[in-house]
Amino acid sequence: MKQNIIYVGLDVDDTQYHGSALDKNTGEIITFKCRPTLKGLLNQLDRLHGTVNFAPNPSDYRQRKTTPKSG
């Protein structure tokens, strides 16, 4: 399976996250900014995932609520 590797750089501060993504195969650069929260960053990465073709989907890394098994 051929994968398209995207390099993402982040500048993190108290007021905003600024990011850039580089598609090394095409040379395309995509910039984004968002609120300085995990939710804001994951939303931007989800949008980025829809813009370029790479895997895995950032939503896969979101924390899932699970119930502990009793036993």
Which tens digits make up the pLDDT trace of 22-62?
888 888 888 999 999 999 999 988 888 776 654 455 555 45
Candidates 27, 18, 21; CA nearest to 6 is: 21
pLDDT at 2: 67
If you ran DSSP here, which 8-state letter would residue 49 be given? H
pLDDT at 59: 52
Buried b (16+ CB within 10 A) or exposed e, 32-66: bebeeeeeebebbbeebbeeeebeeebeeeeeeee
pLDDT at 27: 86
pLDDT at 60: 52
Per-residue pLDDT at 66 exceeds 60:
no
Place of tokens 């989800």: 46
